Amino acid sequence: MSERAKKQVGVISAYQKVFNSTEGKLVLDDLMKTHHIMTSTFSGKNSDEVLFREGERNTVLRIMTLLKMDGTLLNERIANELND
């Protein structure tokens, strides 16, 4: 395995360690709520606002991808948010 691949594995492992902790799950839930994972990025104001929101959303989606988050878990979190 190349040094670059080893480094990437280490980064992914660190994300998983952080976001699988109790505190990390709380932070990820907050990021999902505030960065448009569970809501539309559409804004009637202007296109710059939409682009900004999509950038926020993309960051959280990357974290979710690194955590290998499945659709079932995401649906449960969305359902819980709607019931709160």
Place of tokens 């948010």: 81
Give the count of beta carbons closer than 10 Å to the beta carbon of residue 45: 8
Each residue's pLDDT expressed in tens, for the chain with a length of 84 residues: 899 999 999 999 999 999 999 999 999 989 998 999 888 899 887 889 999 999 999 999 999 999 988 777 777 777 776 676
Give the count of beta carbons closer than 10 Å to the beta carbon of residue 28: 20
